């Protein structure tokens, strides 16, 4: 009996964990806390966008602050507000030219920094990163002083030059990462097959770099189209869309400006959805072929 009682007591002691091994008391925040945080974060990000889209349908008068009723006239007669379309056209023109220049120059510089060894290579890399680290107020004021000292009249040309300058850094960083990931053996194989340097670049290197170049171009376009501070210092009498919105904000942004902003947002969303669907289709095709 003594041995049986001792065994029973031993099993009971082993079955009951000591107090230090028990799980601590928790409020269970982890079960719903992340979801609540995600909802609040999305609400914080999306409320201004929803407000912009909703008030693009507002039957506004001189101001677009108070809701006065639903109308489609703002979308159907967008360019009746001539200043809005002119400012939007200027922003598109500046962004396209600055993106083309910055992407071309930045891609060439990224290839040079990765593939070649030359004097002052480290210093060049550091100088390329400076525009990204410099506050836009300082950068815009410095460029404005340079244009003034050189006697260059401010306008769309100076805005394009300024945007090209600060977009180059973002292009170099984006494309440089893509260049560093390429396998040099692919280009060597092309040279072994008697391809000229131009053929190797356009048929092997460029297609492999194209996703990074497109990403850099889209980033440059977004930065240029959205910029206000550098533009305000160097635009002179020229008006871009961000500058127009800033000026009009004192009396309530016109509904036409909300229409343009909503259209740009919807086009961007549609572009992302199309690219994701196309990428999914390509992956399925590769999986079936493989």
pLDDT digits (tens, 9 = 90+) for 122-159: 888 888 888 888 888 999 999 999 899 998 899 999 99
Q: Are 132 and 173 in contact (CB under 8 A)?
A: yes
H, E, C per residue of the chain: CHHHHHHHHHHHHHHCCCHHHCCCCCCCHHHHHHHHHHHHHHHHHHHHHHHHHHHCCECCCCCCCCCCCECCHHHHCHHHCHHHHHHHHHHHHHHHHHHHHHHHHHHHHHHHHHHCCCCCHHHHHHHHHHHHHCCHHHHHHHHHHHHHHHCCCCCHHHHHHHHHHHHHHHHHHHHHHHHHCCCHHHHHHHHHCCCCHHHHHHHHHHHHHHHHHHHHHHHHHHHHHHCCHHHHHHCCCCCCHHHHHHHHHHHCCCHHHHHHHHHHHHHHHHHHHHHHHHHHHHHHHHHHHC
Q: How far apart are CA 147 and CA 152, in angstroms?
A: 5
**Which positions of the chain have pLDDT values less than 70?**
1-31, 61-62, 251-252, 290
Given this model, what pLDDT does residue 251 score? 67
Given this model, what pLDDT does residue 1 score? 45
Burial class (CB in 10 A: 0-12, 13-18, 19+), 71: middle
Q: Which residues pair with 58 in a beta bridge?
A: 70
Is the alpha carbon torsion for 66, 72, 76, 80 positive or negative?
negative
Given this model, what pLDDT does residue 3 score? 45
Given this model, what pLDDT does residue 14 score? 53
Given this model, what pLDDT does residue 9 score? 45
**pTM for the full predicted model:** 0.77
Q: Are 57 and 72 in contact (CB under 8 A)?
A: yes
Burial class (CB in 10 A: 0-12, 13-18, 19+), 226: middle
Given this model, what pLDDT does residue 220 score? 93
Token couple for 212: 């990074």
Q: Which domains does the chain have, with CATH numbers?
A: 24-78+254-272 (no CATH), 82-252 (1.10.3720.10)
Q: Which one, of 90, 97, 102, 99, lies nearest residue 218 by Cα? A: 99
pLDDT digits (tens, 9 = 90+) for 89-103: 999 999 999 999 999
Q: How far apart are CA 260 and CA 264, in angstroms?
A: 6
């Amino acid at each position: 009996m003594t041995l049986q009682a001792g065994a029973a007591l031993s099993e009971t002691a082993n079955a009951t964990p000591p107090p230090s091994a028990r799980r601590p008391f928790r409020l269970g925040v982890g079960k719903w806390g992340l979801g609540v945080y995600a909802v609040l974060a999305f609400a914080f990000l999306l409320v201004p966008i929803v407000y912009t889209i909703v008030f693009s349908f507002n039957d506004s008068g001189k101001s677009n602050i108070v809701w006065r009723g639903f109308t489609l006239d703002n979308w159907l007669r967008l360019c009746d507000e001539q200043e809005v379309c002119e400012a939007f056209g200027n922003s598109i023109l500046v962004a396209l030219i600055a993106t083309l220049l910055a992407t071309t120059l930045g891609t060439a510089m990224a290839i040079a920094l990765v593939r070649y060894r030359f004097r002052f290579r480290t210093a060049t890399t550091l100088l390329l990163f400076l525009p990204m680290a410099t506050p836009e107020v300082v950068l815009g004021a410095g460029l404005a002083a340079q244009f003034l000292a050189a006697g260059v009249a401010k306008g769309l040309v100076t805005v394009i030059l300024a945007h090209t300058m600060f977009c180059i850094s973002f292009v170099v960083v984006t494309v440089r990462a893509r260049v560093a990931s390429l396998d040099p053996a692919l280009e060597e194989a092309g040279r072994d097959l008697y391809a000229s340097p131009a053929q190797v670049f356009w048929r092997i290197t460029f297609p492999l770099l194209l996703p990074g170049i497109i990403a850099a171009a889209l980033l440059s376009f977004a930065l240029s189209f959205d910029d206000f501070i550098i533009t305000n210092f160097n635009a002179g009498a020229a008006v871009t869309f961000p500058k127009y919105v800033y000026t009009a904000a004192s009396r309530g942004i016109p509904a036409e400006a909300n229409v343009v902003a909503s259209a740009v947002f919807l086009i961007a969303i549609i572009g992302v959805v199309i690219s994701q669907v196309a990428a999914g289709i390509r992956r399925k095709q590769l999986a079936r072929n493989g």
